[in-house]
Amino acid sequence: MRNKVITAALSVIMVITVCVLMFSGCGTKHPAEPTEKNTICAILLTPMNKHAIESHYPFVGDNLAMAIEKGLARKSFAEETYLKIEAAYVCAFDFYLNKQIDINQYQKILDDSTLDFTNKNRDTDVYMCNGGITRENIAIKNTAYIERLDTNQIALLRACIKEDGWLYITDDLLKMVEETWKAVFKVPEQYIQADGSFQDPYIMYGLNSTGDTLMFVIEYSVGEENTPTSPVENAKFETVNALREQMEKEISSAMGVDVKVMIRSFQPGEK
């Protein structure tokens, strides 16, 4: 009996260890102990707040009608059910993405730099806070149109969200994300122009790309004592711009789609 207890305890420790190694967000907030056999990790969700989605969500076409039909919303996107399931999808995709290519390695470059890449807007930014992702500077910028999922896929997402706010990452969930992410993140046709490019003010802030693009943003704050063109800030921009080029090349190769990385630097007091 004693040996069985020890073996069970070691199994739990191994599961949690794998979780920490595979995704830096796991373990940082002491996730609840996984209880399902196929659970890889548990991540505490941070849904987008209602004001943020009302301000930033592209209200186009029949998106809301689809969401209501599939039980994701009753009257608007700014409801708890939609926000929680949308955050769960983004969180699961980020986990899946890190299995294909380590996104956290790019954050580590900024973390380990002698330059200060503090992002003072990190806790209020719509995309930085969405899901349960803990990176300081790098976020997925695409809008997740979860209403494009079928009812079975939505049911799977619901089943992985626990009442205490934890998302249980499972093999089935990752497989679903792998099969759907291109459709979920695809820019609505209303924004795509004849040449295949688009300019989506909600997602790209004026950056042109293609409808199938996987989009990221790198954000950091200008130092209180600096101006945007000071030597220190120039050095920070050069570092981030080199990182942008590296990310676009490496992530595109790993994921098989066009990748664009946007750079945003915030001056003191700017949001």
Burial status of residue 10 (CB atoms within 10 A of its CB: 0-12, 13-18, 19 or more): exposed
Q: Please list, residue by residue across 31-58, b when 16 or more beta carbons sit within 10 angstroms of its beta carbon and e when fewer do.
A: beebeeeebbbbbbbbbbeeebbeeebb
pLDDT in tens, 52-78: 666 655 555 578 888 888 989 888 777
Nearest one of 168, 262, 183, 265 to 215, comparing CA atoms: 262
Task: State how far the Cα of 43 lies from the Cα of 90, in Å rounded to an integer.
Answer: 12
| 3-state SS, residue 202 | coil
pLDDT for res 195: 53
Task: State how far the Cα of 254 lies from the Cα of 250, in Å rounded to an integer.
Answer: 6
* Per-residue tokens: 29: 């907030």
Task: State how far the Cα of 29 lies from the Cα of 164, in Å rounded to an integer.
Answer: 13
pLDDT in tens, 205-247: 444 455 678 989 899 988 877 777 789 999 999 999 999 999 9
pLDDT in tens, 75-126: 877 788 888 999 999 999 999 999 999 999 999 999 999 999 988 877 666 6
Per-residue confidence band for 202, with pLDDT thresholds at 50, 70 and 90: very low
**Angle, to 10 degrees, between the axis of helix 151-160 and the axis of helix 80-100?**
90
Tell me how many degrees the CA angle 14-19-20 measures, rounded to the nearest 5.
100
Task: State how far the Cα of 138 lies from the Cα of 263, in Å rounded to an integer.
Answer: 10
pLDDT in tens, 4-20: 444 444 444 444 434 44
Cα–Cα separations (whole angstroms), residue 95 to 23, 59, 67, 68, 104: 7, 27, 24, 27, 11
> What single string gives the DSSP state of each residue in 67-117?
HHHTTS-SS-S-SHHHHHHHHHHHHHHHHHHHHHS-THHHHHHHHTSSS--
Task: Judge if pTM exceeds 0.85.
Answer: no
Residue 53 neighbours by CB under 8 Å, 6+ apart: 77, 78, 82, 83, 126
Which residues does residue 131 pair with via DSSP β-bridges, in sequence order?
46
